[in-house]
Amino acid sequence: MSEAVHLFGAVASAYARHRITYPTAFFELFLGQLVSNPLVWDCGCGSGQAAIDLATAGARVIATDASAAQLAAARPHPQISYQLAEACSSGLDSASVDGVLVAAAVHWFAGDDFNTEMRRVCKSGAVVAWIGYLPLRLKDPRLQSSLDEFHSVTLGPWWPAERRWVEQSYAGLAFPAEEWPFPTGLWIERHWTLTELIAHLGTWSAVQRSREAGSDPLPNLQAELAGLWPELGQAALLVRWPFMGRWGQL
- Residue ranges making up the domain that contains 233: 2-249
Number of domains in the chain: 1
Whichever domain contains 213, its CATH number is: 3.40.50.150
pLDDT in the model for residue 154: 98
**5 or 26, greater pLDDT:** 26
Distance in angstroms between the alpha carbons of the first and the last residue of the chain: 25
How confident is the model over 47-90, as pLDDT tens digits?
999 999 999 999 999 999 999 999 999 999 999 999 999 999 99
How confident is the model over 88-127, as pLDDT tens digits?
999 999 999 999 999 999 999 999 999 999 999 999 999 9
92, 103, 110, 185, 235 from 118: Cα distances, Å: 10, 15, 11, 28, 44
In this predicted structure, the answer to whether residue 185 has a pLDDT above a threshold of 50 is yes
